[in-house]
Amino acid sequence: MADAGSAGLDRLERWMLAVVTHAGGSARGLRHARARRQIDVAVGDIERVVTRSSRLSAIERLDIYAEAYWLRLVEVMANEYPTTRDAMGERAFDAACRAYLARHPSTERLLLGLSAKFPDFLARRLRGKRGAALAVSLARIERAMEDVFDAPAGELLSPAAMAALPAAAWGRMRLELTPAMRLLALDCDANSHMTALRSRRSASRPRPRPAWVLVHRHGLRVLRTSLTREQYALLRLLGRGVPIGRAIARSCRDLRVSADRLPALLSGWFRDWAATGLFVAARVG
């Protein structure tokens, strides 16, 4: 532990970061072991480390950085999870963000991955609480939207190129899906709820039930598409490199549709997916 007045650069930096990132504010941060390991100074002696100005005490000056730390990072998360925030309410969301950041402080240069673990964190934090299914499902969709926004999309396989593929080889063909895509299995139909809110329609809170969503980027647009259980299963298998024929057989065996209508139904799915840039390559074998 260094003397407060002569602490070296490394100790000063570690001390200041420990103080201004403490969830309880600077004064409590000063007393925390993480700060005291660097410089052991009490609030009353803080001017041995930080000077006062004519209008602010040393601890008030540290508080400027402490408040900015939490405000900035919570604001970043609020921008990433606006609908989750609306569903939870501002206070509950803010508290969840602060708890998350205390557990998962940023270790990256960029803010892109700051809240990557937030949906899982929220699922643990809200387990068994009212409204948990909606809040967590919304968070998973909004996380996916952030991820695909920045992800590479790959060279798209156009609908025309899809149509030109030899029909006889379709069953053995493997499709490569765009990396700018996420498949979500959720605990409620949060996607329809989000769509209603975004179009300023009133929406009652959906009840918990299984729901599936595709989130992907097509050009500059991020798309959210509700899926059936079979569509979700089919896309998951295709994404794992399972040939189309086997993927259809495994995912659609419980589909309640007559055999003569199945080809048209599947053809429609693939046409829509190709038209929105879901496939980037096809190969036989």
Q: Which tokens go with 234?
A: 């089919």
CA-CA distance, 64 to 79, in Å (whole number)? Answer: 22
Q: Compose the 90-109 pattern: x for residues touching another protein by CB under 8 A, - for all others.
A: ---------------xxxxx
Task: Restricting to residues 181-210, name those near another protein by CB under 8 A.
Answer: none
- How many CB atoms lie under 10 A from the CB of residue 9? 7
Tell me how far, at minimum, the Cβ of 62 lies from another protein, in Å.
6
Nearest Cα residue to 96 out of 85, 86, 107: 85
- Segment interacting with another protein, rule: CB under 8 A, options 62-70, 126-134, 165-173, 266-274: 62-70
Task: Restricting to residues 223-282, name those near another protein by CB under 8 A.
Answer: none
Q: Which of 23, 92, 112, 165 binds another protein (CB under 8 A)?
A: 112
Q: Which of 95, 99, 111, 156 binds another protein (CB under 8 A)?
A: 111
Q: Which tokens go with 23?
A: 């969830």
Residue among 73 and 215 whose Cβ is closer to another protein: 73
Task: Restricting to residues 121-180, name those near another protein by CB under 8 A.
Answer: 148-153, 180
What are the contacts of 166-172 at 24+ separation with CB within 8 A? 169/284, 170/244, 170/245, 171/243, 171/244, 171/245, 171/246, 172/243, 172/244, 172/245, 172/284, 172/285
Handedness of CA 174, 175, 176, 181 (dihedral sign): negative
**By the rule CB under 8 A, 44 interacts with another protein:** no
Q: Which of 33, 44, 54, 155 binds another protein (CB under 8 A)?
A: 54
**By the rule CB under 8 A, 55 interacts with another protein:** yes
Nearest Cα residue to 250 out of 269, 230, 266: 230
**By the rule CB under 8 A, 6 interacts with another protein:** yes
Q: For helices 262-275 and 229-239, what crossing angle results, to 10°?
A: 60
Cβ proximity of 2 and 38 under 8 Å: yes
Residue among 50 and 190 whose Cβ is closer to another protein: 50
Q: Which of 12, 92, 95, 156 binds another protein (CB under 8 A)?
A: 12
Tell me which residues touch another protein (CB under 8 A): 4-10, 12-14, 16-17, 20-21, 47-51, 53-56, 58, 60-62, 64-65, 68-69, 72-73, 105-112, 148-153, 180, 217, 220
